[in-house]
Structure 1
Amino acid sequence: MRDVWSTNIDLDGTESYQEIEDAFRWDVPDRFNFGTDVVDRWARERDGLALIWENHAGEERRYTYSEIAALTNRFGNLLRAHGVKKGDRVLVILPRIPEWMIVMVGALKIGAVAIPGIEMLTSKDIAYRVRNSGARAVVCRTSQVEKFADLIDEIPVRIAIGGAPDWVDFDAEMDSASIDLRPEPVEREDPAVMYYTSGSTGYPKGVLHASRGLYAWRVSAIHWLDLRPGERIWCTADTGWSKAGTSVLFGPWSCGACTFLYDGPFDPKHRLRLLQKHRITVYCAPGTELFRIVNEDIGGYDLSALRRTISGGESVSPGLAERWETATGTRIDEGYGLTESLIVVINIPGEPVKYGSMGRPGPGVRVEVVDETGTPLPPHREGDIAVLTPNPQMMLGYWNDEERTRSCFRDSPSGRWFITGDRAERDEDGYLWFRGRSDDVINSAGYRIGPLEVENALLEHPAVISCAVIGSPDLERGEIVKAFVVLKEGYEPGDALSRALQEHVKSVTAPYKYPRAIEYLDALPQTITGKISRKELRLRERAAADGARQAGLAGQPAGDDQGRVRA
């Protein structure tokens, strides 16, 4: 039996999907503080290794649950000493380093709302998040301080790891902060964490989650990640994404497992060396990463500790899944989730896996394919993926945007459905098969990218008069960002201009959003109301990709880093 502190979960690992589903009942406590009710409890009752960290230089640090408990107490006291209180928003711009987890949990202990973000964010990206959230505090490394130069008067508490003039020195104050902390009582509906996610229009949305969500997300860690105390999981998601919440921080530590965190560039051979060195038992990575690794000589590495491979954020092709299983002896169990709910569709151990499918709804979650009226559709009919509410995994709503929050729900006789924006079909066994987005959001290598953010960046370049950005099918990344550009008079299309446009986008917004392919047009297609038709461009790209596959070119990526020029 697994000690996950829930009266409803009593497992020995042999239950079938249907047995788990039939027996499951939500048992969310009225109060839940992740820092005290999970981290501190493991430290008291079953202390063990909580975190292994390594960087590209080979430096390594290890922390037990008791050490994490003490450090997060210190950070909670540090925040309080500077006036941060329950409900205040704390922007956390940190990479894959132990301080990220310490800061996140320390903030939660005093009831503050943590807002994780990646270091690739530009000054403009950060300014929007600060002003939209009303963040009272920020934590970042010294190297990122300059991005806040224009925000000094707007953020009362500024904490720098490594120190900086006019900033709180994280290292110095952590050394002097008390190890004894009076934690804040946190109700189940109290805000706890907020993720910013790209939409098809406008700026990113702040997705606000309650403390009940942090409790509920343990369910996917139990049944999908299949974690046990003492096991070692490596999820390669970046710190700003909700996937890091379920599979790096909240999920693994809820199960008493040890998280491995690597701060370094992607290199497939080095990935394999690290899997071998640290005896990783559960590996969680997007299909893009697995695609690169499976082309290496996997037989030359000892992966005997690996018993489970998990993937989420993008579809994994059946061919890749079969190659991975042959090479490692572990199948790829996909899952599906979104920032607004985290993981809601899973594959569980011991049950059949259908490569190409996302899996089946997780315990305690009703996920259906519905039509425009909210009526669940029969098998093999495409419709909207919808999650029945209320559900403890679901967000409180979009920050300061009630209208946008309401627009995501569809009421019907069968209940109130949250419409995810994704399309799928269900087969006769209940497995869901992804069929694409119903909006324009691009999913590239697990990164969600809003087309408007890239279009706005391109329009700031003097050569561009108009543009449209879509996701173009790509074998390795699932989709790549592709831009269709109409040039101003006096500019000529070509590789040099494409490179200049790509570098410009990288300088204006987060670099991962830059267009990997650029096509120049005399005019963009329009709808009958005069709006740019991204849908027509997407259909054109999919037709081209289908034609390439039929011609035997499926092994070629759909785009390249230098852009493409249309004759």
Structure 2
Amino acid sequence: MQKPFDDFQWDIPAQFNFATDVVDHWAAKTDDLCLIWENGAGARRVFTYGDMSRLTKRLAYALQEAGVVKGDRVMIIMPRIPEWQIAVVAALRLGAVPIPCIEMLTAKEVQYRADNAEAKAVICRAEQVDRVGDGLADVPVKFAVGARAGWRSVAEALNQSNEAAAAVVEAEDPVLLYYTSGSTGNPKGVLHSARGLYTWRYSARHWLDVKSGDRIWCTADTGWSKAGTSVLFGPWSEGGCAFFYDGPFDPAERLRLLARNRVSIYCAPATELYRVVAEDVAAHDLGALRRTVSSGEAMNPEVAGQWKAATGLDVAEAYGQTETLMTALTLKGLDVQVGSMGVSAPGSDLVIVDDTGAELPNGQIGHVALRLPNPQMMLGYWKAPEKTAEAILDGPQGKVFVTGDLGQRDDNGFFWYASRSDDVINSAGYRIGPVEVENALLEHPAVLECAVVASPHPERGEVVKAFIVLANGFAASDALVAEIQTHVKSVASPYKYPRRVEFRTALPKGPTGKLLRRALRDEEMAKKAVAHD
């Protein structure tokens, strides 16, 4: 069994403030770039660590003057623009708790997060206020990127010269809150500590292989923890430079950007590489590229083979969750096993257990779990200690955090994903809770009953499929499908809409009347994936 880093020891500092201990640290040592940004219109901005140190101190001062203090939650709703990094680090500088959110959230989804987190402040683009502003009515401190009446200006904060002093942040202090979709109810808040954030440097070091001077492009959206580990916290902890692109997905443009910006590390989901490798890769100078990594979904061996033939590079996969971040890695120097989750990350003991928490032998499918204690582990689910307790089993070999995934470990220590043990849909790297979509569907007058499951797809891995029982007076039609899809896009985030819809006269239910969503999911997964919709 391959067990790299058997002698690895965690070295967690008693205090850790990312703003001072990473950003200010590098600013004092180097004039290197930490961020290169472009957008689809061709605009370009670059920032050194010194720039980032100065700007985050200024925005932190403005937040402080507005009443934000250590421990306050700050919602940051932005696309891939430099103000995202500036806002996150500014909040961390004060010891506040940023809540990164994608811009696609609806006003209702924003309001849930704001209310649940008791957010003290929000920072978003001025253009978004009309769309989501109603969900932020009770948030007292509001900053906008761009001009907006009644909102404080981020630009003014960055142009003034006052700088905030940094808070003292203890290792166990909360510093970051992500919301993640589950199989039931509203998204769960995942609260991370300063020591957790500190540990994310190790996956950047041993999986991404970021070194000072590297340019890394991770295409994850800003609201996902993957952006934290591979766009901001991980690369900057190692002194690297992030490339950040705000523009539509165009596989040919991806290659042009990789070449033009001399990207050395490319981090993309399997569904993205599927499209990019189909382009004329040889027409672009990717001579700076030395490592390609992927996570969130298993790589297709054919796509990985095509990528290697075109670039000479393997795709090094990894596995993690919002609650734990990267716990299985294809470490640098390790033989790549295409489709594998990797081996246990340095300092982490990933195991396969049964329903009691007992470890299973190699080759047997069981629950993928992380042995505790582990400093990467979240503090817990926000305001939901019962949910935190439900995810931890006290097995015969000790406590483990059960991830909700099923898999197995082979004799060489590589982990292989089998399926979710719940009903969460993983579509092109986005985690979608079925209940969120079902609730949106039920607001349409044509929908009497519904069930939402994952349906296999050759490019996206999975897509959302809705099984619908129509109310009296409605008839199935393509026009009704389109109307229902448009409705879901308006009620929930657009990426959650059902790309496939099937009308039925009844849905499978148990003896107590409980919807048997899994029966529909198993039925879908038994089908051969169809061609691209």
TM over 0.5: yes
Alignment-mate amino acid for residue 463 of structure 1: A
In structure 2, the partner of 1:565 is none
Assess, with a 3 A threshold, how the Cα gap between structure 1 residues 177 and 138 changes in structure 2: closer, same or farther.
Answer: farther
1:328 aligns to 2:311 (yes or no)? yes
Match of 2:522 in 1: 539
2:3 aligned with 1:23, yes or no?
A: no
CA deviation map 1:512-561 (0-9, x unaligned) = 0000000010000112221111111011112222xx6xxxx7xx24xx3x
- Cα drift, residue 188 of structure 1: 0.3
What corresponds to 2:52 in structure 1?
A: 68
Q: Which residue of 2 aligns with 1:385?
A: 368
Pairing 1:480–2:463 present: yes
Q: Output aligned runs, 1:116-131, within 5 Å.
A: 116-131=100-115
Given candidates 270, 279, 290, the residue that maps to 1:296 is 279
Deviation of residue 150 (structure 1)?
Answer: 3.2
Corresponding residue number in structure 2 for 1:114: 98
Q: How far apart, CA to CA, are the structure 1 residues paired with 2:153 and 2:291? A: 41
- Counterpart Cα distance in 2 of 1:429 and 1:503: 48
Q: Secondary structure at the match of 1:23?
A: coil
Q: Which runs of 5+ in 1 are unaligned?
A: 1-15, 561-567
Give 1:520-539 correspondences, 5 Å limit.
520-539=503-522
Q: Distance in 1 between matches of 2:249 and 2:158?
A: 31
**Correspondent of 2:70 among 83, 86, 96:** 86
CA deviations on 1:415-458 (whole Å, 9 max, x unpaired) are 11000000001111011110000001000000000000000000
Distance 2:408 2:512 in 1: 31
Aligned residue in 1 for 2:27: 43
Partner of 1:432: 415
Residue 491 (structure 1) aligns with:
474
- For 2:308 and 2:413, the matched residues in 1 are separated by 23
Give, in angstroms, the shift of residue 144 of structure 1.
1.1
> Residue 348 of structure 1: SS of its match in structure 2?
coil
- CA distance in structure 1 between the partners assigned to 2:522 and 2:186 by the alignment: 25
Q: Percent identity?
A: 55
Q: Which residue of 1 aligns with 2:127?
A: 143
Q: CA deviation at 1:478?
A: 0.8
RMSD value, Cα? 1.2
In structure 1, what is the Cα distance between the partners aligned to 2:136 and 2:109? 16
Residues 116-125 or 309-318, more deviating: 309-318
Q: Is 1:77–1:177's contact at 8 Å kept on the other side of the alignment?
A: no
1:152–1:429 Cα change, 3 Å? closer
Counterpart CA distance in 2 for 1:326 and 1:44 is 42
CA displacement at 1:17 relative to structure 2: 6.3
CA–CA distance in structure 1, aligned partners of residues 7 and 130 of structure 2: 53
Kindly state the Cα deviation for residue 174 of structure 1 after the two structures are TM-superposed: 2.2
Report what 1:467 is aligned to.
450
C-alpha contact 1:126 1:147 (8 A) present in aligned 2: no
- 1:276–1:302 contact (8 Å) kept in structure 2: yes
Aligned length: 533
Is residue 56–residue 89 contact of structure 2 (8 Å, CA) maintained in 1? yes
**Partner amino acid, structure 2, of 1:342:** L
After TM superposition, list the pairs within 5 Å mapping 1:7-406 onto structure 2. Answer: 18=3, 20-151=4-135, 153-178=137-162, 180-406=163-389
Matched, 1:421 2:404: yes
1:293-330 alpha-carbon deviations (Å, 9 max, x no partner): 11111111111111111101111111111111111111
Distance of 1:66 and 1:535 partners within structure 2:
52
CA distance in 1, matches of 2:277, 2:477: 35
Give the Cα–Cα distance (whole angstroms) in 2 for the partners of residues 47 and 338 of structure 1.
34
Cα-to-partner distance string for 1:159-180 (whole Å, 9 max, x where unaligned): 01102111111112321241x3
Cα separation, 2, equivalents of 1:24 and 1:60: 41
Determine the C-alpha separation between the residues in 2 that align with 1:201 and 1:429: 36
Amino acid at match of 2:45: R
Q: What displacement does 1:118 show?
A: 0.8
Query: Distance in 2 between the 1:188 and 1:149 partners?
Result: 34
C-alpha distance in structure 2 between counterparts of 1:120 and 1:415, whole Å: 41
1:251 Cα deviation (Å)?
Answer: 0.3
Matches of 1:408 and 1:147, distance apart in 2: 36
Q: Distance in 2 between matches of 1:150 and 1:331?
A: 47
How many Å apart are 1:151 and its aligned residue? 4.8
Q: Aligned partner of 2:308: which letter?
A: E
3-state SS of paired residue (2:63)? helix
Following TM superposition, by how much is the alpha carbon of 1:379 offset from its aligned partner in structure 2, in angstroms?
A: 1.1
- Does the aligned pair in 1 maintain the 2:77–2:122 contact within 8 Å? yes
Match in the other structure for 2:429? 446
Answer yes or no: is the 8 Å Cα contact 2:2–2:412 preserved in 1: no
Deviation of 1:23 after TM superposition, in Å, equals 2.1
**Secondary structure at 1:310's aligned position in 2?**
strand
**Separation in 2 of the partners of 1:95 and 1:177?**
26
Task: Give the TM-score normalised by the residue count of structure 1.
Answer: 0.93
Deviation at 1:146, TM superposition (A): 2.0
Give the secondary-structure state (helix, strand or coil) at the position aligned to 1:465: strand
Opposite residue 67 of structure 1, the aligned amino acid is D
1:123/1:147 contact within 8 Å kept: yes
Residues in 2 aligned to 1:152 and 1:305: alpha-carbon distance in whole angstroms: 44
1:457-509 Cα shifts (integer Å, max 9, x gaps): 00000100000000011111110000000001221112111111100000001
8 Å Cα contact 1:369/1:424 also seen in 2:
yes
Distance between the aligned counterparts of 1:287 and 1:148, measured in 2?
A: 31
Give unmatched runs, 5+ long, in structure 2: none
How far the C-alpha of 1:413 sits from its partner, in A, is 2.1
Counterpart amino acid of residue 442 in structure 1: I
The separation in 1 between residues aligned to 2:135 and 2:255, in whole angstroms, is 42
Query: Contact 1:454–1:513 (CA<8 Å) still a contact in 2?
Result: yes
Decide whether aligned partners of structure 1 residues 122 and 148 sit closer, same or farther in structure 2, where only a CA change above 3 A counts.
closer
Counterpart amino acid of 1:150? Answer: D
Any idea what SS the aligned residue of 1:22 has? coil
1:55-95 Cα offsets, whole Å, 9 max, x none, are 00111000000110000100110110101000000000011
SS of equivalent residue, structure 2 residue 31: coil
Secondary structure at 1:497's aligned position in 2?
Answer: helix
Kept after mapping to 2: 8 A contact 1:72/1:102: yes
